[in-house]
Amino acid sequence: MELIAELRDVSRVYQMGDVTVRALDRISVPFGTGEYWAIMGPSGSGKSTLLNVLGCIDRPTGGSYFVEECNTSDLDDDDLSRLRGASIGFIFQSFNLIPQLSVLENIMVPLLYQDGSASDGLARAEALAERVGLADRILHRPSELSGGQQQRVAIARALINNPKIILADEATGNLDSQTASEILDIFSELNSEGKTILLVTHEESIGEQAQRVLCLKDGKVDLID
């Protein structure tokens, strides 16, 4: 199977005064293209650190992380930013929309940072807003939307550059179960369209939806299924 991303012996060590914290300890995981992964584990197990590394906003202190066969250790800060913009879509637990921008503008933020911005950006953003069911809300501010609607905006924003990987960090953590299952349905749908989904969660029930499961414990791989 073709790999979209791969962790090889990845470690992430924090130095906090005299104490050395090994948040990730020599983790090796192959992520196949189009797979739906749930990344699970108790709090403090290194899930968030792993997600930061996978999302290229943090660098491993040891080992290598490959995205589309490209070693991220060889990339400088600008290239890493380009990679994030083009290949990775982020979805956060607290939505992280920019409050002063409208829904449509929020969806279009990643376009600002792409080289050679697309002329059909507006049309694409409108299509995505329609797809996540917010076509009639595109001029609203995030504060005027419910949690579920905000997360839909975030999903649309994550999709605007058509990335291959979607990274979701407890994406349903702040939502009620009804809304959460709607959001999860969107993820399944995206997965069926060929997107690789990496979902960080601590809820067993969500983990069961995923095709593959990675469990972390104390920064080490506890289980790969």
Query: What are the residues binding other proteins (CB under 8 A)?
Result: 52, 55, 57-58, 77-78, 81-82, 84-86, 90, 92, 96-98, 100, 109-110, 112-114, 116-117, 157, 161
DSSP state of 142: G
Nearer to other proteins, 74 or 78 (CB): 78
Q: Shortest gap between Cβ of 181 and other proteins (angstroms)?
A: 26
Which SS3 state, helix, strand or coil, does residue 66 take?
Answer: strand
Edge-to-edge strands, sheet with 3-16: 19-32, 3-16, 62-67, 70-71
Q: Shortest gap between Cβ of 224 and other proteins (angstroms)?
A: 25
Q: Shortest gap between Cβ of 221 and other proteins (angstroms)?
A: 22
Distances (CA, A) of 104 to 60, 93, 115, 143: 35, 20, 20, 14
Nearer to other proteins, 69 or 113 (CB): 113
Q: Shortest gap between Cβ of 194 and other proteins (angstroms)?
A: 21
Token pair 């637990």: residue: 93
Phi, psi of 44 (to 5 degrees): 85, 5
Nearer to other proteins, 107 or 183 (CB): 107
